Amino acid sequence: MTGTFAPTAEQIEALARRALARIPQPFRDHMGTIALFVEDFADDETLDAMGFEDPFELTGLYQGTPIGQKSISDVAAMPDRITLYRRPLLDEWVETGVSLEALVTHVVVHEVGHHFGLSDDDMHALEDAVG
C-alpha cells in the first residue's frame, strides 16, 4: 500500500483475509461460515447497542453466536460476521504508528476470539500464533 491516499475498504479487506488465512488450522476448521465486511463506520444502531457515542471508538465487531453456545437445534440464523470499520482503523493507525497490517491482524484475531468465546489471554496467544 503505497501512495498518497488512504487505504481503501478493499485493501483493508485484503489485509484481513491474509490475517484470517494465518489463523492456526484447528481454529480455521471451524470458521467456514464467518462473513467478512469492511465499512467506513458502524451505524448508529450498532454504536448505541455497543454503548459507544463516538464512531471512532469501534474498530471491529463480531456478530453471531460463539461456537460454544451453538446448538444443533438452533433455528437457522444469519451467518456469523466480522465487520471492520475502516475510518476508526485508519485513525488508530495514524495515532499509534503501528503498521496497518499489524493493527488489522489484531482486530481480526480479537473478533475471531469472540467467535470462539476466548478469554483475553487466549486471544493474545492466538494473535502471537498468527504473527
pLDDT (tens, 9 = 90+) of the chain, 131 residues, equals 556 789 999 999 999 999 999 988 888 887 767 899 999 999 999 999 999 999 999 999 999 877 655 555 556 566 789 999 999 999 999 999 999 999 999 999 999 988 887 877 877 787 777 77
Pull the grid cell for residue 105.
Answer: 491482524
* Cα–Cα distance, 55 to 95 (Å, whole number): 16
**Which domains does the chain show, CATH number per domain?**
9-66+79-130 (3.30.2010.20)
Q: Are 56 and 91 in contact (CB under 8 A)?
A: yes
Distances in Å between the Cα of 74 and the Cα atoms of 9, 55, 78, 81, 118 are 33, 32, 11, 17, 21
Q: Which of 22, 37, 3, 1 minimizes the C-alpha distance to 127?
A: 22
Please write the tens of the pLDDT for every residue from 52-85.
999 999 999 999 877 655 555 556 566 789 999 9
